[in-house]
Amino acid sequence: MKVAVVTAPEAVELREEPSPKVAPDEVFVEVGACGLCTMERRLFTGEKRFYPVAPGHEVAGRVAEVGSAVADLPGSPRVGDTVTVDLLTRCGTCSACRRGRSALCKRPQGGALSDGTVSFGAGLSEGVVVKATQAYPTGTAPIEHAAMGEPVACVAHSLRLGGLRAGDRVAVIGAGYMGRLHLALARHAGAASVGLIDVSADRLAEARGAGAAWTAVPDEALALGGKQDLVFVTAGAPGALETAVSLCDDGGTVVLYGAFPKELSVGVSPDAIHHHELSIVGAYSHEPEDWRTAAALIASGALAADLDALVTARFGLAEVAEALKLASTTPVYRVLVGGR
Q: What is the pLDDT along the chain (340 residues), one digit of tens a residue?
A: 999 999 999 999 999 999 889 999 999 999 999 999 999 999 999 999 999 999 999 999 999 999 999 999 999 999 999 999 999 999 999 999 999 999 999 998 888 999 999 999 999 999 999 999 999 999 999 999 999 999 999 999 999 999 999 999 999 999 999 999 999 999 999 999 999 999 999 999 999 999 999 999 999 999 999 999 999 999 999 999 999 999 999 999 999 999 999 999 998 999 999 999 999 999 999 999 999 999 999 999 999 999 999 999 999 999 999 999 999 999 999 999 997 6
Sequence-distant (≥ 6) Cβ neighbours of residue 7 within 8 angstroms: 13, 51, 52
Q: What does the buried/exposed string (b/e) look like for 117-126 if buried means 16 or more CB atoms within 10 Å of the residue's CB?
A: bbbbbbbbbb
Distances in Å between the alpha carbon of 321 and those of 169, 328, 330?
42, 10, 14
Q: What's residue 340's pLDDT?
A: 60
Q: How many other C-beta atoms can be found within 10 angstroms of the C-beta atom of residue 140?
A: 7
CB burial of residue 190 (10 Å; 0-12, 13-18, 19+)? exposed
Domains plus CATH for the chain? Answer: 2-148+310-337 (3.90.180.10), 155-282 (3.40.50.720)
Q: How far apart are CA 15 and CA 3, in angstroms?
A: 5
Q: What's residue 29's pLDDT?
A: 98
